[in-house]
Amino acid sequence: MRKRVVITGMGVISPIGNDKETFWRSLVEGKSGIGPITRFDASGLPTRFAAEVKDFDPTQVLERKDIKRMDRFSQYAVVATKMALQDAGLEVNKVGPERVGVVFATGIGGMETFEEQTRILLEKGPGKISPFFVPMMIANMAAGQIAIHTGARGPNFTVVNACAAGTNAVGEAFRVLQRGEAEVVITGGSEASVTPLALAGFSAMKALSTRNEAPEKASRPFDRLRDGFVLGEGAGVLILETLDHALARGARIYAEVAGYGCTADAYHITAPDPEGQGAAQAMALALADAGVQPGEVDYINAHGTSTDLNDRIETLAIKKVFGAHAYKLAISSNKSMIGHLLGAAGAVELIATTLTIYEGIIPPTINYEEPDPECDLDYVPNKARRQEVKVALSNSFGFGGHNATVLLKRVEV
């Protein structure tokens, strides 16, 4: 029999708070973390705002020499991991290092390091490139640094699946535990891509909102006036354990991971399948994996990017899977407040989904002002809703046609 898997700890670095409690409070209050870019001069860009992480101080967890050898995406990952382990009341050495795995995600990896070292190459020549360039930049290094800083020696790998990566990582961690390959897995995702090149690249695709005059209103999932997504950054880390292991040590259990679905559109490099078939199939697979009927689902944490195509196609996909029950579901998008964290989005949003189940409060979709006739479901507009949630889905979809859904349940032992 497949082992049951539960969530026992969480850590967050986000545009609306650098710990789980602040993040959750800000979500429930409908606080926007989006504003003008402060990290570099964005005056020459079409989009001059983002959802930046604020007041991040890695020195509370990391030595200064380590900080200098880590890209920000790895710093976010390690700091969030330390928080998650503390939240879980778990020490890797007490579990047994070989029985603790790391399954982590990023969409891009060390983008800031890549840009910085490219400037050095062009301005000063190859002799000035840092010997730490490659191990700071490569996408797997967040997972590597987590293992180095925690001593986890179990299964360790990185998912790089664009904007679906964070959800894929949690789903694959779930599978590692189901198969009995570990007792604990540190999982999630990290991204630090608020950089000039990333902004310029997404702007060239016409993917970003250009609402420069009111950036806090720019991310408006499912609203008729949405004009693109807002780039965000941060990290989300979840501690997953087998249920038996969590019960044996008397751990607090937030929710159960019960189902996972993963598909491809096989359609286009950036646009979703216009029929929403791949997204619908990912949700259907997660339901089947968990043995849950569509009518049992209370809430969906939507991918909800605030782009025209995504929001319309995700709505269509939900209707395909849930039929008439789609109109009874509560649906909301955290991206309205935190922007799009790319490879970290799914992990941070799964933390929000977990807390929705645990706290019985559904965070809102803020900036929902003008309904779109093609997006006609209940998006929990503008104000949080107190509601019992027993079963929830979290969706993530990425460039390349990657689709991932994880199903969470309120734990019943």
Residues designated as active site: 163
Structure tokens at 361: 């409060």
Amino acid, res. 288:
A
CB-side neighbour CA atoms (13 Å) of 295: 1
| Residue 279 in tokens | 């997204």
Is residue 367 a contact partner of residue 219, using CB atoms and an 8 Å limit?
Answer: yes
> Helices 345-359 and 20-29, interaxial angle, to 10°?
80
Tell me the pairing of strands 402-409 and 361-362: unpaired
Residue with tokens 């779930």, as numbered in its chain: 174
User: Which of 307, 272, 292, 320 lies closest to 392, judged by CA?
Assistant: 292
User: Whose CA is closest to 5, among 257, 307, 331?
Assistant: 257
Distance CA 201, CA 198 (A): 5
Separation between Cα atoms, residue 109 and residue 142, nearest integer Å: 8
Q: How far apart are CA 349 and CA 392, in angstroms?
A: 12
Residue pair 108/193 in contact (Cβ under 8 Å)? The answer is yes
> Which residues make Cβ contacts (< 8 Å) with residue 249, sequence separation at least 6?
90
Please check whether residue 16 is in contact with residue 33, taking contact to mean a CB–CB distance below 8 angstroms: yes
Element of type H or E holding 158:
strand 156-159
